[in-house]
Amino acid sequence: MTTVLRPATAAKATGQPTRQRRIQLGVRERLAPYAYIAPFFLLFFIFGLFPLLFTFYVALFDWDPIGERHYVGLANFSELVDDPRFWGALRNTFSIWLLSTVPQLLLALGMAHVLNHVRLRAATLFRMSVLVPYVTSVAATTIVFAQLFDRDYGMLNWFIGLLGFEHIDFTASVWGSHIMIATMVAWRWTGYNTLLYLASLQSVPRDLYEAAAVDGANGWKQFRHITIPALRPIIVFTVITSTIGGLQIFTEPLLANPVGGLTCGAARQCQTLTLFLYEQGFGRFSFGYGAAVGVALFVIVVIVAAINYLLVTRIRSERP
Amino acid sequence: MNPTPSTTGRATRGRRSVNRLPFWVYALLGVMVFVSVFPLYWMFVVSTTDSATAFSLPPRVVPGGNFLRLAGLVFDIVPFVQALLNSLIIATVIGVGQAGLCALAGFAFAKLSFPGRNTLFLIVVLTMTVPAQLAVIPQYLIMSKLGWVDTLQAVIVPGLVTAFGIFWMRQHISSTIDDELMHAARVDGATTWQIFWRIAFPLVRPAALVLGLFGFVNAWNDFLWPFIVLKSPERYTVQIAIKALQNSRDIDLGLAMSGSFLATLPLLVLFVFVGRRLVQGIMEGAFKG
């Protein structure tokens, strides 16, 4: 260590610093921790907290980016509550979230269970390959999947045709577009969640499985009675993150249907809340109404957080 | 393999099944790898053949030799080299910034005592739960007040340090650096900054590197905020350039695929080298940033 710290010790050896210098140094030392955390708080106040509070303010105005703005009170909110486009976007967001999260987490559970085998060869290779979708950008993912799901020339419809069924127009229908977007989301995150589950699984003592096997518990019973309980905390965590992620789905519905524009199709069949916010704010330039959508999103986040809190405390109390 | 002799046949059978995995496990894993990689492979196939490949049935699955011609078309329609450069600048500065600034703040929260520490840390943790997306309109207004609309720093600066990164670095620093080492350094007359820079940071450099890599990947792939704040084609990131390709003229899917492939290629190359570290990072608790 002494070699590493040579400058300081050397300075000490050359002579006592003056009194003033020592005081300066003392103040600087005391302020150092604040200086180290300052960048975060500075950026958070400017680009995080302030915009969040400002959203509530902007939502009270009829706000045009060119400069015209009129105070309208709660008019934006009452308009929002009566707006079928808003409720439609909420429904789409929820539906896409459900369709992507449930299969994705179930698949990830199963995959983690398989990857957790002790004698698995090339384990690192398998782990790396499930992470490939995570590194691929959402924009690129969406363009590839939109083609795979294409009505006339998509590979998926080609298979469906080979099996003797009618082609499905995924982008045009409500369910079709939701399934398509949910697939993109699930494809991107399944591997990531698999690794989270796998990490948790590896902290479960092997003896537990061996003892269970000796006792005659088959694979399913082991999965049900050892794997699932051990993973419960991380499952809650992934449900929380996928919910927050689900509220932010934007790129997929924007790019999945190139002719759909900002509404993801003429009937707004797959427009999510974030895309609706973007459409109002930056497509139609009504900042006030867009901000009101932002406030609604905030309320949903708070509700989700409250549910999570209840879930987490219940799990804690269930622990032996 | 030297199986220990066991008394019952049942135990022997159990042991054998542990030693050699059944075929179906590898078959399942094979399907998993196929599903993970195939969309990318197919993107590559389309971007090396012809736009018509995207519309031929049965689908073509062998790459062709047209990659350079299609790439040339991509570069003609949008300033794609510039977009690659912009993405590289943004992602690098954000990656390096996050590694450094989160380590610094994580160090303060883990190893220094100062009034208000716990409250401030609680605030950091709480900020992780609110998605920034819902405030994009005021964020845009702030950027236009600052005169930063259509500049790269509008994308870079807000991403330089994250709550998650601080949380993560704090965990690593408190488990890696022990207090006696800190104390010894203080006795030797080291300043707080010297302790951070010469002792703490070198010890947690692997963790900071992983954090920086995640910052890089996320910044490279970010879409919504750059889409809002970057207006002119010479400021586009590759993701926005993909969107522009998709919009161009007659919505040529083949070209959009070529652009997507070009935008993904740098990350895939990076992944070959650092994928192992990213996997480790996630498994050590590198949750979403």
Phi, psi of A70 (to 5 degrees): -130, 140
Q: Which residues contact A179 (CB under 8 A, 6 or more apart)?
A: A99, A170
d(CA B46, CA B48): 5
Phi, psi of A136 (to 5 degrees): -75, 140
Our CA-based measurement puts residue A87 at a distance from the nearest CA of chain B, in whole angstroms, of 17
End-to-end CA distance of chain A: 46
Contact A294 B120 (CB under 8 A): no
Cβ-nearest to A1 among B129, B131, B188:
B188
Our CA-based measurement puts residue B119 at a distance from the nearest CA of chain A, in whole angstroms, of 13
A47, A125, A126: best to mutate for the B interface, most B CBs within 10 A: A47
pLDDT for residue B17? 47
CA distances to A60, A82, A104, A275, B273 from A288, in Å: 7, 16, 36, 16, 47
Cβ-nearest to A195 among B129, B223, B279:
B279
A27 in contact with B at a CB cutoff of 8 Å? no
Contact A8 B190 (CB under 8 A): yes
Q: Which residues of A touch B120 (CB under 8 A)?
A: 37, 41
Phi, psi of B66 (to 5 degrees): -100, 10
Our CA-based measurement puts residue B154 at a distance from the nearest CA of chain A, in whole angstroms, of 10
Torsion of CA B1, B4, B8, B11, to 10 degrees: -50
Residues β-bridged to residue B88: none
Q: Which residues of B touch A25 (CB under 8 A)?
A: 191
Q: Which residues contact A16 (CB under 8 A, 6 or more apart)?
A: none
pLDDT band at residue A307 under the 50/70/90 scheme: confident
> Residues 62..91 of A with a Cβ closer than 8 Å to B: which?
none
Q: Which of B48-52, B101-105, B241-245 has the highest mean pLDDT?
A: B101-105
- Where is pLDDT greater, at A1 or A51? A51
Q: Which residues of A touch B54 (CB under 8 A)?
A: 147, 153
The answer to whether A41 touches A33, Cβ cutoff 8 Å, is no
Mean pLDDT of chain A: 86
Our CA-based measurement puts residue A82 at a distance from the nearest CA of chain B, in whole angstroms, of 20
pLDDT for residue A316? 64
Phi, psi of A71 (to 5 degrees): -70, 125
d(CA A122, CA A129): 11
pLDDT band at residue B56 under the 50/70/90 scheme: low
What pLDDT digit, counting tens, does each position of A6-39 carry? 444 444 444 556 777 778 778 888 889 999 999 9
What pLDDT digit, counting tens, does each position of A203-222 carry? 888 888 888 888 888 878 88
How many CB atoms sit inside 10 A of residue A77's CB? Answer: 16
B29, B137, B146, B253: best to mutate for the A interface, most A CBs within 10 A: B137
Cβ-nearest to B279 among A127, A258, A291:
A127
What pLDDT digit, counting tens, does each position of A260-292 carry? 788 888 889 899 999 999 999 999 889 999 999
Burial class (CB in 10 A: 0-12, 13-18, 19+), A281: buried
Cβ-nearest to B36 among A191, A248, A290:
A191
Least confident of A49-53, B36-40, B59-63, B162-166: B59-63
pLDDT band at residue A317 under the 50/70/90 scheme: low
Contact A132 B37 (CB under 8 A): yes
A41 in contact with B at a CB cutoff of 8 Å? yes
Establish whether the linkage from the previous residue to A65 is cis, with ω within 30° of 0: no
pLDDT for residue B2? 41
pLDDT higher than threshold 90 for residue A69: no
- Where is pLDDT greater, at B25 or A293? A293
Nearest residue of A to residue B241 by CA position?
A139
pLDDT higher than threshold 70 for residue A178: yes
**Residues B92-112, mean pLDDT to the nearest whole number:** 96
Q: Which of A65-74, A259-268, B27-36, B239-248 has the highest mean pLDDT?
A: B27-36
**Residues B72-95, mean pLDDT to the nearest whole number:** 90
d(CA A35, CA B108): 9
pLDDT for residue A272? 94
Q: Which residues of A touch B105 (CB under 8 A)?
A: 36-37, 39-40
A21, A25, A132, A152: best to mutate for the B interface, most B CBs within 10 A: A132
pLDDT higher than threshold 70 for residue B71: yes
pLDDT higher than threshold 80 for residue B285: no
What pLDDT digit, counting tens, does each position of A152-173 carry? 778 888 888 888 888 888 888 8
pLDDT for residue B208? 94
Q: How far is CA A160 from the centre of its chain?
A: 32
Our CA-based measurement puts residue B177 at a distance from the nearest CA of chain A, in whole angstroms, of 14
Interface size A-B, in CB pairs within 8 Å, comes to 299
Three-state SS for B214-257 is HHHHHHHHCCHHHHHHCCCHHHCCHHHHHHHHHHCCCCCHHHHH
Three-state DSSP state, B4: coil
Least confident of A262-276, B61-75, B251-265: B61-75
Cβ-nearest to B160 among A25, A39, A49:
A39
Least confident of A26-30, B91-95, B231-235: A26-30
d(CA B150, CA B84): 16
Amino acid letter, B235: R
Mean pLDDT of chain B: 84
Establish whether the linkage from the previous residue to A7 is cis, with ω within 30° of 0: no
Nearest residue of B to residue A126 by CA position?
B33
CA distances to A121, A138, A257, A311, B41 from B44, in Å: 28, 16, 21, 44, 5
Q: What percent of chain A has pLDDT over 70?
A: 92
